[in-house]
Chains A and B, each alone.
Chain A
Amino acid sequence: MKRLRTFLSSWEALLVVLLLLAIVLGSSLSPYFLTGFNVSSLTRDLMEKAIMALSMTLIIIAGEIDLSVASTLGLASVILGATWNAGVPLWLGMIIVLVVGATAGALNGLLVTRLGLPSLVVTLGTLALYRGLAYVVLGDQAVSDFPAAFTTFGFGSVPGTLIPWPFVVFVLLALVFMGVLHWSWIGRQIYAVGNNKEAARFAGIRVARLKLMLFVLSGLLAALAGIIFTARFSSARPDNALGFELDVITIVLLGGVNIFGGRGTLVGVILSLFIIGALRNALGLANVSGDIQNIVVGALLVFSVLGPNVAQYIQAALTRRRLAAGGSTKKV
C-alpha cells in the first residue's frame, strides 16, 4: 500500500499519465494513430534518439551533458557515405564510423576531464565543429546508393512481425544499460559522481576516467545511431538529424533525470521517450510540421526542469504555512 502511494506521487506516475494523454490526443487527432502499422513506424522513427538517450542519461546522471550527439550522428552518416562512395566495403565503413564516433566522444571527454572545462561549452563547440566537418566531408552532396541489404535493416522489420530491426538493437542496448546503471558497481559510481564529485573522488572512484568513458560511449552510440539513420533513409547527408539534441535532452530530462546529476532512472527515460515519440507522431498525423512540433518539445524541456522546481516551491510554502499556523511538524 505504501509502495503504491510512493509510486503514485512519483515522477514516473506523472509520466504514465502524460503518455496516456499523448495516446488519447493521438487517437483523437487521427484514426490511424493506434494501428499496428503506425505504432511500428512511430517506434522506428524514435530509435536513433532512443539509442542516444541511453548514453545521455548516464552522462547527465554523472553531472555532465553532451550537446554534440546530433552533430556526431551527422558526421558519422556522411563518413559512411563517403567511404562507401570511395569503394570501401560497408562493414569496414561501419567500423571506421564507430571509431570516428568514439574519437569524437573522446575529444569531448578529454577537454572536459583533462582541462576541467564545462561540458556545456565544450560540446556546444563540438556541436558546431562536428556538424561543420560533416559539411566539409560531403559539401551539399548526398550519398544514397546503399545496398538493399543495408537499407532493409533500416526500414525493414523482423520477418512475420511489425517489430523494426532498429528496435531490436535498442532493446538489447537498453537491457545492457539498465543492468549497468541499476545493478552494477559502475552504475553506483555514476550516481556517486553525479551526487558529489569530491566525495566520490575521496571514496576512490576515478572520476576523470569514468567521465571520459561515458563521453566515448556517447560518441560511439551517436555513430551507431548515425549508421541506423543512414540505413533508414538510405541517405547520407551532412544535415542528417539536425537539431536532434533537443529531443534527446528533452527525453532524458522529462524522464526525471536531474539536470545537476545524481538522480534519475532509465525506466523514466524510456517512458518519456514514448511520450515524445507519440506526441511528434500524433502532431505529424495532424499535418503539423516538424518546426512547429518543436514548440511542444521545447516547452516540455523547460517544463521538465521547471515543474519539479515549482512543485518543490509550493511544498516548501505549504510547510512554512503549516508551521506558522502551529500545526504538526511531523511531515516536515
Chain B
Amino acid sequence: MTTTSKELEEVRTTPRVSQGRLVGLVSRVRELGLLIALLLIVVIVSVQVPRFLTVSNIEQILLSVAILAIVAVGETLVVLTRNVDLSVGAIVGFTAYVAADLFKQQPGTNLLVAILLGCVLGLVLGAINGLIVTVGRVPAIIVTLGTLYVYRGVDFVVAGGNQVSASDVPDSYLSLATTQIAGIPALILFAAAIALIFAYLLRSTRSGRQLYAIGSNPDAARLVGIRSNLLVFGTFLLSGLLCGFAGVLWGARFATVDATAATGLELQVIAAVVVGGVNIFGGSGTILGAMLGAIVLGTIDDALNLLKLSQFWLQAIDGAAILVAVTLDAFITRWLQRALIARRQR
C-alpha cells in the first residue's frame, strides 16, 4: 500500500515540478528577450549618436522614467489580479496640482506634510476605485474609465484654470526632484527603492503570492480561501498611494503644473507594464519586468529625440508596443499550453 501511494505521489509531482520550471523558464525568456531588445536599441542608436551611451544621457533616461516607474509598480499589482487601473494619470495629475498649490498658498509648508497629503489623497482616490470594483462588482475597466474623467474633472474644478509655476513654489520643494544622494538623483533612488520593496513583497510574502493566485484563477483562489476582494481592494489602494506619491514628485520635477498635468500617462504606464511581460489576463509577471518595460519605452523615447525623429511618433509607438507585447504573450501562452499538454501525454 505504501509503495503504491508513494508511486502515485511521484507520478503526480513530477509533471508539477517541470511545469513550474517551464513557466519560470518562459518568464525568464520573456525578460531576457526584453533585455536583448534593449541592447539592440542601444547598439543601433549609439552607433549613430555617440552621445547616447554617456553617463549623463543614461541618467537622463532613468530620470524621465522614474515617476512613470513608480506608477507602473502599482499598476503591476492591479494587473496581476486581472484588473486594470486607467485612472492613474488623473490621480497623478490631481495630486501634483494639490501638492504644488499647497506650496503656493503656504510657502512655509513642511515637505513631509506635502508628501503625506499627496499620499493620503492618492489613497482616498484609490479606495474609491477599489470599493466600486470589489463591493459594487463593476468591471475595473469601466470603474477606472469613469473615475479617470471624474478625478480629472474635479482637478479642473479645484484648479479653476490656474497654473502653479516654478516661481510660485519654494526651492525646497523643487529640490525633491533635483537632489542627489551619493551622486545619483534622488528620483531614481526613490523609484528603485519602491520597485525593490514591492518586488520583495510580491515575491516572498503570502499576500504577494495570493495576488498571482487571484489573477490565475479568481474562482479557484476564492475556493481555497483567499480573501480576493480584500486583496484586490488592497492593490487599488496601493496603486492610488503610489500615484499620490508620484504626483508630489511630478510637481517637483516639472514645477509648472496645471489641471492637464500627466494627461494620458495611463497609456504609457499600461504600455510599460504589458511590454514588461505582465500578462494582461493577470497571474504572471514581475515588478522587475515592468521596470524593464518602462526603461525600454523610455530609451526609445530618448533615442527618437537624439535621432531627431518626430516626437509625434511617441504615442503611436506606445500603442504599437502594447499590441506587439500582448500578441507575443498570446503566442508564448499558446506554445506553453501545447508544450504542457505534450509533456502530460508522454
Interface residues of A (CB under 8 A from B): 111, 115-118, 120-122, 124-133, 135-136, 139-140, 243, 246, 249-250, 253, 259, 289, 291-295, 297-299, 301-302, 305-306, 309-310
**A121 and B326 form a contact (CB under 8 A):** yes
B138-A306 in contact (CB<8A): yes
> When the two chains form the complex, which single residue of B148, B149, B154, B319 contacts A125, counting CB atoms closer than 8 Å?
B319
Q: Please name all residues of chain B whose beta carbon is closer than 8 Å to the beta carbon of A298 when the two chains form the complex.
A: 145-150, 153
Residue ranges of B at the interface with A (Cβ–Cβ < 8 Å):
84, 132, 136-139, 141-143, 145-150, 152-154, 156-157, 259, 267, 270-271, 274, 280-281, 310, 312-320, 322-323, 326-327, 330-331
The answer to whether A115 and B330 have CB atoms under 8 Å apart is yes
Given A121-B326, A124-B267, A289-B156, A301 and B319 touching (CB < 8 A)?
no
A129 touches B320 (CB 8 A): yes
Is chain B's interface secondary structure helix, strand, loop, or mixed overall?
A: helix
Q: Which residues of chain B have C-beta atoms less than 8 A from A291's C-beta?
A: 152-153, 156, 259
Assuming the contacts A295-B149, A301-B146, asked whether A125 and B316 have C-beta atoms less than 8 A apart, the reply is no
CA distance A101 to B320 in the complex (A): 17
Contact A117 B330 (CB under 8 A): yes
Which chain B residue has the least Cβ–Cβ distance from A303?
B146
Q: List 28 A-B contacts (CB under 8 A).
A: A115-B327, A116-B330, A120-B84, A124-B270, A125-B319, A125-B323, A127-B267, A128-B315, A128-B319, A129-B319, A131-B315, A246-B149, A249-B145, A253-B142, A289-B156, A291-B153, A292-B153, A294-B149, A294-B152, A295-B149, A295-B157, A299-B146, A301-B146, A301-B149, A302-B142, A305-B138, A309-B137, A309-B138
Q: For residue B325, which residue of chain A has the nearest CB?
A: A125
CB-CB under 8 A from B270, the residues of chain A are 124
CB closest residue in chain A, given B138: A305
CB distance from A37 to the nearest CB of B (A): 28
Q: Indicate whether A132 sits within 8 Å of B330 (C-beta atoms), given known contacts A125-B319, A292-B153, A297-B149.
A: no
**Shortest beta-carbon distance, A187 to chain B, in Å?**
24
When distances are taken between beta carbons in the complex, the residues of chain B under 8 Å from A292 are 153, 156-157
CB-based contact B327/A128 at 8 Å = no
Known: A118-B280, A132-B316, A132-B319. A305 touches B139 (CB 8 A): yes
